[in-house]
Amino acid sequence: MHLARHQAPALLLFSLLANVLLLASTVYMLQIYDRVLSSGSIDTLLWLTLAVIGAIAVYGLLEHARRMMLGHISQWLDDQLSVPVIERAMEARLAGSNLEAGLKDVSDLRGFIAGDGILTFLDAPWTPVFLAFMWLLHPALGVVGLAGAVLLFCAALANDFLTRRKGQEAAAGLRRSQAAVGQFVDGAETLRSLGMSEPALLRWEQNQQSLMDIQTRILRRTTIIGSLSRSLRLALQVAVLGLGAYLVLRRELTAGSMIAASILLSRALAPIERSIGAWRSLVSARAARRNLMKLFADTASVQNAGVTLPRPQGRLKLENLHYCPPGTSQPLLTKIGFSVEPGQTCGVIGASGSGKTTLCRLIVGALRPSYGHVRLDGAEVWNWPSDQLGQHVGYLPQQVELFPGTIAENIARLRDVDSEAVIAAAQLAGIHEMILRLPNGYRTEVGPHGARISRGQRQRIALARALFGDPPLVVLDEPNTGLDSDGENALFKVLQQLTELGRTVILVTHQINLLRTADHVVFIQDGSVSKFGTRDEVLSALNGQARRIPVAPVIREKIAANEPGNLKAAE
């Protein structure tokens, strides 16, 4: 907001001068009726007219300057806030916050500053100046003007009282409705194949109709109050003219002062009347500012971006790790503690819902521990600047997302494409030949509106993205869920090569045969470490207790089919 504060004095000065220059027409009318017509001086008329035309020209320049300044401030706000708001919204999403702030708030704030709404409120403080001039012409005229301003101001307050709460509810509902549309479009395949399109759209239409009804009621109330305000202003102008004529007949006022009082009343009441129509934009801007302030307050960064830590070797250590989702007291993970050295692979197994994916997110810094520590080469992962940490971590999440862009750009993590590094990652993942067979090779567009590629292909591209840059720590969350036999063989080769390269690998899987490269295995049960040790120790223990431990059926079957001795033979 530094630029806005810097421009504020000039903006207020221009507003003052512009409103003072609006008095030029009033003074002109006063002089015409009281001096020119009585004296018959053509020279006075000429010079007076030229002076007023000059004042109006200066007013036009000042008005243009005000709008240009506000437009520049709004553009600056958009430039300065858009990226940080997206970043903070991502942080809030990862933290499980229900904050609804986003780019819509930036757009509302920018629209208010760049539009006529803020000019209305900048002009409103000068209403007392015009009322003071009316009072100088005659106290009775000042009283009428003051009464009219109070009545219009009360109408503006009534409009705010009657529409604010419903307006906020409608705005929040419209945001949710827009988000639902995006989800419907992204899930079009599921909706269509399961026959859910019609009921989904019907539910959305019903919700949208209820929101439109609320907005219609708000608009109706605002329109009624606005119409009454315009009628009141016209009635007040008639009253001022009538009172002025009465005072002229009593020789307490000149004819020029009567006309000038009518013009002054119009100038004095115009900002208050316009504020009723601009109130909705003010309410939206106020809500947007409140949402953005809360977003930035709740996601205040504690990372020290000024310190660049060296590339880690991959020593991972978890110390008494606990995690509770925000707003709940029920922990998902408790007392998690183990360590993995560089060049080792640690398998993570357990039943569905035991907390394996949450553990992965904590390890890569996507979630913040409730207490406890996740350390990479001794440095707290959460406090590590994310841009730096991301260069040293390869992460393949369970739910694979590819983003708008080419395959090469996705593998390069949306940075400038380094062809050698991209091809090296693709070759390590075993998908170089697969990519070359696509119509446009590495330039094939993916993402929501890109080429139709299979789930297995997406997963393997995401694996190449995780391996890009040769990170010392690689976290793979069920990396074979969408793979065929060729893909699983390629994945196993990747795991072997990562071990040979001395990389630290965390491997979450329900397929015990993938643990052939694992040095250690962690068995997660009900959010805590039930067993941790070498692969053979843990699998032997689980094989002996499979009937008494509630592990996933697929794990039980694999343990029975892949006893430690068989795994050694497979190696």
Residue spans per domain, the chain: 1-299, 316-546
What's residue 405's pLDDT?
A: 85
The pLDDT-based confidence of 505 (bands split at 50, 70, 90) is very high
Among candidate residues 418, 252, 209, 11, the one with its CA nearest the CA of residue 3: 11
What mean pLDDT comes out for the span 476-498? 85
| Percentage, residues of the chain above pLDDT 70 | 88
In the structure, what pLDDT confidence band is assigned to residue 199 with cuts at 50, 70 and 90?
A: confident
pLDDT of res. 476: 92
Q: How many CB atoms lie within 10 A of CB 16?
A: 15
Question: How sure is the predictor about 95, in pLDDT bands with cuts at 50, 70 and 90?
Answer: low
Mean pLDDT of the chain: 80
Of 170-174, 212-216, 455-459, the poorest mean pLDDT is in 170-174
Q: Report the SS3 class of residue 173.
A: helix
State the average pLDDT over residues 371-380.
Answer: 89
Question: Rounded distance, CA 147 to CA 142, Å?
Answer: 9
For the segment 527-556, the average pLDDT, to the nearest whole number, is 68
User: What's 377's DSSP letter?
Assistant: T
Q: For the residues 121-131, what does the mean pLDDT come to?
A: 82
More confident residue, 74 or 318: 318
Does residue 377 register a pLDDT over 50? yes
Nearest to 112 by CA among 279, 282, 274: 282
What are the backbone angles phi and psi of residue 526, rounded to the nearest 5°?
55, 40
**What is 316-546's CATH number, 3.40.190.170, 3.40.50.300, 1.10.3720.10, 3.40.50.2000?**
3.40.50.300
pLDDT, residue 555, reads 45
Q: Is the pLDDT of residue 473 over 90?
A: yes
Q: Encode pLDDT of 251-287 as tens digits.
A: 888 888 888 888 888 888 888 777 776 776 777 777 7
Residues 9-30, mean pLDDT to the nearest whole number: 80
Of 2-11, 275-284, 315-324, 558-567, the one with minimum mean pLDDT is 558-567
pLDDT score for 366: 83
CA pair distance 428, 432, nearest whole angstrom: 8
Residues 6+ apart with CB under 8 A from 506: 316, 340, 346, 348, 360, 363, 473, 474, 475, 476
The answer to whether residue 190 scores a pLDDT higher than 70 is no
Res 346 pLDDT > 90: yes
216 CB contacts (<8 Å, ≥6 apart)?
A: none
Rounded to whole angstroms, the Cα distance separating 456 from 343 reads 27
CA distances (Å), 353 to each of 335, 505, 541, 563, in order? Answer: 17, 22, 21, 25
* CA dist 537 → 82, 247, 419, 546 (Å): 52, 106, 43, 14
Better-scored residue on pLDDT, 300 or 332: 332
User: Average pLDDT, stretch 180-207?
Assistant: 76
Maximum distance among all alpha carbons in the chain? 120
- Whole-angstrom distance, CA of residue 427 vs CA of residue 464: 8
Third-level CATH fold of 1-299? ABC transporter transmembrane region fold (1.20.1560)
Rounded average pLDDT over 111-119: 78
Q: Is the pTM of this model over 0.85?
A: no
pLDDT score of 98: 62
Does pLDDT of 305 surpass 80?
A: no
DSSP annotation of 40: -
State yes or no: pLDDT of 379 exceeds 90: no
Average pLDDT over residues 35-57: 83
User: 538 pLDDT exceeds 50?
Assistant: yes
Mean predicted confidence (pLDDT) in 209-219? 83
pLDDT for 71 beyond 90: no
Q: Which amino acid is located at 452 in the chain?
A: R
> Going by DSSP bridges, is the β-strand pair 405-406/445-446 parallel, antiparallel, or unpaired?
antiparallel
Distances (CA, A) of 361 to 95, 304, 353, 374: 11, 21, 14, 11
Q: What is the pLDDT of residues 232-253, one digit of tens each?
A: 888 888 888 898 888 888 888 8
